[in-house]
Amino acid sequence: MRNTVCLLAGLLALAVTQSTPAAKRLGPPIEDLQSTPDRIRIVVAEAKDKPEKGKIRFAITESLVGEAPEEVVLRTDQDSYFEVKPGQSYVVAWSYMRRNRGVIGGYEEDPAGPSTVSVLGLGSTTLFEGTPEMRYLFTPGVVTDPDAADRVISALLTQMRRPDSRTRGLVIAELYLRKDLTEKMNADQAKALQEVLQAKDLEHQHRQLLYDTAVRIDPALTAPWLADDMRMAIKQHGAQYDLTTFIPSMVISAAEGLQQLGGAGDIELLSTLLYSNNPGVSKAALAAIDHFDPEAAAAKAQEAMKDGGIHSETRRVMTRYLATGKMR
C-alpha cells in the first residue's frame, strides 16, 4: 500500500517468532505472545550472569504464562546480550521450540536449547525491563479484560513515556492494534499521549504509529495539538527523503491525519509534498487537498505536472486525477 520500508507492514501481520519468521498472521503483540503457552513461556526473571557469548542466565521469580523452571539459560540476540544487566529484573518470553515447516504443527524442539522470542515487525526480542506496568500488562487475561481497559491504557501510556525504545515499540504497537482501547481514552490519557509525541527521542516509526492511533481518539481531546504536531513533522522533513528510513511513512501518516483533522488552511503546506521523491507521500497529499477543495487540488496538480522533477508514479496518478477527478 505504501512504497516505503515501513514498520506498519510488519505490525499489520504481527507474528511471534524465534530466529526465523513465522507465517501465521496474528494480532496485538501481548495477547499473541500469551496465546501459545505450550510453546512460549513468559516469566519475570532476574538476570544472573552471562555464562558465554550470546547466552544469559535468568533466575525465574514468577511464571506468567506456561510452566518454567527456577533457572534457565537463554540464547538471545546481540543487542539484548549486551543491554541486559545482571541483577536487574526483566519480563522475558522464551521457548524450547524452533520453527520447522516440515513437521506436524510447524515447530520442533530446538537442539541448540531455549532462546528468547521476538515479535516480527518490532525489531527486538521480547525481553523487557520488569517495570510494574510491564508485569501488569503481561499478567494473563489483563489486556483482554474489558473491565480493565482504563488501567491497561494508563499502563501502556506510562510505559511509553519511559526512555526505552524496546518497550516503547511494544506498547505503541499494542495500542495501535487495539482500536477498542483508543476509542475509550479520556482527556488525561490523551494528554499523556501528547507528551509521548513531544518526546525528543521518539523514533520516526513510533511517531507514525502514534499518528495513526491518535486519529481514532475523540477529536475534541486532541485539538489542536495533534494536527499541529503533524504540521510540524511535515515542515521539519520537507519533501525529499532518505527512502531507506521511516520518514516517508511518517509523513504519509501526517498528511492523512491532516485530511481528517486539518482544513483548507493546510492546502499550501500539503502542496509542497506533491514534489516528493516518495510517490506515496505525494498521493496522500493530493488526496488531502482534494478532500478540502477539489478545484485547488486540480490546480496544484496541474502546476506540479509542469515540473519535470516529480516522480513518474506521481505524474501517472496526477494525470488520471486530472482526467477523471478520482485518485484511483
123 with 14, same domain: the answer is yes
231 shares a domain with 185:
no
From the DSSP assignment, how many helices (H) and strands (E) are in the chain?
16, 10
Q: Let me know: does 5 contact 246? Beta carbons within 8 Å.
A: yes
Of 221, 252, 274, the residue at which a domain comes to its end is: 221
Q: What is the mean pLDDT of residues 105-114?
A: 92
Identify whether residues 192 and 98 lie together within a single domain: no
- The total of structural domains in the chain comes to 3
Q: The whole model's pTM is what?
A: 0.88
**59 with 81, same domain?**
yes
Task: Work out the burial of residue 151: count CB atoms within 10 Å of its CB; fewer than 13 is exposed, 13-18 middle, 19 or more buried.
Answer: middle
Examine the domain organization and report whether 201 and 284 are in the same domain: no
Q: Which of 110-124, 201-215, 253-267 has the lowest average pLDDT?
A: 110-124
Q: Is 1 a domain residue?
A: no
For residues 37 and 149, membership in a common domain is answered with: no
In the predicted structure, residue 307 carries a pLDDT above the cut 90: no
DSSP 192-230: HHHHHHT-TT--HHHHHHHHHHHTTS-HHHHTTHHHHHH
pLDDT tens digits, 41-56: 999 999 999 999 999 9
- pLDDT average, residue stretch 95-114: 91
Same domain? 52 vs 150: no
Asked if residue 221 has pLDDT above 90, the reply is yes
Q: At what angle do helices 149-160 and 165-176 cross, to 10 degrees?
A: 150
Domain that holds residue 270: 223-328
Residues 202 and 294 occupy one common structural domain: no
pLDDT per residue as tens digits for the range 54-74: 999 999 999 999 999 999 999
Which of 302, 315, 323, 319 has the alpha carbon at shortest distance from 276? 315
Domain shared by 108 and 155, yes or no:
no
User: Residue 184 domain-assigned?
Assistant: yes
Identify whether 89 is part of a domain: yes
